[in-house]
Every structure is written in C-alpha cells, then in structure tokens.
Amino acid sequence: MLPVEEYDAIWSGIRDRAAAVVAEGERDLSRVVRRLEREWRDMSMEPKGGTAFGKVVVLPRAALIGGRRDVFMHVLLTACTPATSMVVELGSGWGHNLLNLHLWGGPKVPYFALEPSVPGRECVELLAALEPRLELTVLPFDLGRPRYELPTGSEHVLVFTAHSIEQVSELPHETLIGLFALGRSITVVHFEPIGWQLGENEVTAASREHALEKGYNRNLWPVLTELADVGEISIETAIPDLIGHKKRNASSLVVWRRQALPMLG
C-alpha cells in the first residue's frame, strides 16, 4: 500500500504537467486529458502481457491501457439511469475517470471527486475549470475513516471506485454502509484487483501474491457478501480479473445496488 505522501508525489507531477499544458494555451478538456493520459501511462506499441477475463493476453501496451479505460467507461455509462442525479468517485486521483465519464456523454448532473491527496484534488480542480458545463466538486476523503459530506435524498446515485480500495488493506464496513444515505437507490461499481478474492483462474495465484506483498485490499469481497447475505445490498455483477495492463493487478468488476424500501402510506 502506497502512503499518501507517495501519491502526493505522483499526482503533483501530473498536476504540474496539466498546468504547463494549460499555460501553453490549451483550453480543450478532452485534448488536455488525452495528452496527460498518454504521458502518464507511457502508452506505446511495446508488446505487453496483460489480462482479459482471467486469461493472460499479449497486446500493444497502448491497446491494453486504452481498452481498460474504454471498458470502465462502458460499464459506468450503462450503470447510469434517467433518474441518476449525482455521480461520486471514491479515491479520484487526478480526476481522469470522472472527467472521461463526462467527456464520454455521462449524465449532466453534479459530480463529486473524493480524494485524500491534496495535489490530486488540485489537479481535478484545475482540469474541471476548463469545462464550464461540468459541475464537479472536489472534497478530501479517507477510505479508511470515511465521512460523507455529500447531498442526500437523490433518486439515484452512481458511486464508483477504480483501484482506490486496493490501497486499504482492511476496508471498514462503514465505508460502504455510509453510502446508503445518499439516495433512494444507489448503484456502486468497483474496478478493483480482487480477482483472487472471488475465485480461481489463470492469474489468481500471482494476483494474490502481489496483493499480499503490496498490502493491497484483502476484504472487499467478504464485506460485500456479508452485506448481501443480510439483505442490505444485491450484488448484480462479479467478474474476476476482467481486464488489465498488469497481469498481476488486473481490474475485477463488481456491481452492487441498494434500493430503498417503498414508503408505507
């Protein structure tokens, strides 16, 4: 698990690069995000061993990284409904996931980027300011000690994480339970490297070893199944090691929902 200080250094570099691109006169959010992604991910034609549906695949590095992003966006857009009135990312980093969702035609509703790193939050704010049609609020947040200072009462809220819960070895139940008050119904999407928690496949052993070595999360799936077993949530999708450009750290997909009970008349 990387300490916040190490993420501060990573996101500081991207924030400074974003500021430099904007200072050059670039004002188009899509162009800026694409430039930053290409440099950050070191996209190239180099053959790379990645993962798809629990199998090792070899593709150009750029194809694995771009494909992973595109899968993320497809899933998030599918999770939106006409009733969606708020989108929240827990552990937003420098903001690329939320910004891409907006650029890909996500709902025109308030977005919230919850992020522990100060430079990460500064980068999100810098980039979001390029798009006046985007209503995006950036807030400090700690997945291990969650406080949700967000609007409540929405009809439907989309919440997602992308390789942020991985950084919390033991996720408190409160991190998920605290989401229940945000809306009458919520859909939560996790893109997290927890395939080894779900079951066996071709890359499970290496993923488990990598996760334990790095101090990555080891209890997201048990927490979710506990909540499902007592009827608090329903788990709709669980695909281990769906896609990844790192075969030892592939993104598994889990989608769960909570629907408020109808009010009695």
Domain-located, residue 198: yes
Domain of residue 138 covers: 4-259
Q: What mean pLDDT do residues 238-261 have?
A: 92
Percent of the chain scoring above 70 in pLDDT:
96
Tell me: pLDDT of 264 over 50. Answer: no
CATH of residue 227: 3.40.50.150
Torsion of CA 260, 261, 262, 263, to 10 degrees: -100
**pLDDT tens per residue, range 162-181:** 999 999 999 999 999 999 99
**pLDDT tens per residue, range 135-159:** 999 999 999 999 999 999 999 999 9
Percent of the chain scoring above 90 in pLDDT:
89
**pLDDT tens per residue, range 65-112:** 999 999 999 999 999 999 999 999 999 999 999 999 999 999 999 999
Domain-located, residue 202: yes
Q: 202 or 6: which carries more pLDDT confidence?
A: 6
Domain-located, residue 51: yes
Domain-located, residue 193: yes
Tell me: pLDDT of 261 over 60. Answer: no
Domain-located, residue 264: no
In the prediction, which pLDDT does 255 show? Answer: 98
Run of H or E including 162 = strand 154-162
CA distance 207 to 250: 8
Helices (H), 80-161: 96-103, 118-128
In the prediction, which pLDDT does 1 show? Answer: 54
Q: 60 pairs with which residues across the strands?
A: 47
Contact criterion met (CB below 8 Å) for 151 and 143: no
pTM more than 0.85: yes
Domain-located, residue 245: yes
Q: 39 or 205: which carries more pLDDT confidence?
A: 39
Which residues, including other chains, have CB under 8 Å from residue 249's CB and lie 6 or more apart? Answer: 163, 166, 193, 207, 210, 211
- Structurally, the chain folds into a number of domains equal to 1
In the prediction, which pLDDT does 154 show? Answer: 94
In the prediction, which pLDDT does 203 show? Answer: 73
CA distance 33 to 107: 19
The tokens for 28 are: 């188009």
First CA to last CA across the chain, in angstroms? 49
Contact criterion met (CB below 8 Å) for 11 and 117: yes
In the prediction, which pLDDT does 265 show? Answer: 40
CA distance 179 to 10: 28
Domain-located, residue 265: no
CA distance 57 to 161: 24
Contact criterion met (CB below 8 Å) for 82 and 109: no
CA distance 32 to 37: 9
- Residue the block writes with tokens 């899933």: 75
**pLDDT tens per residue, range 31-65:** 999 999 999 999 999 999 999 999 999 999 999 99
In the prediction, which pLDDT does 206 show? Answer: 82
The tokens for 245 are: 């450009």
pLDDT-derived band of residue 263, with 50, 70 and 90 as boundaries? Answer: very low
CA distance 50 to 61: 8
Tell me: pLDDT of 201 over 90. Answer: no
Which residues, including other chains, have CB under 8 Å from residue 172's CB and lie 6 or more apart? Answer: 144, 145, 146
In the prediction, which pLDDT does 165 show? Answer: 97
Domain-located, residue 70: yes
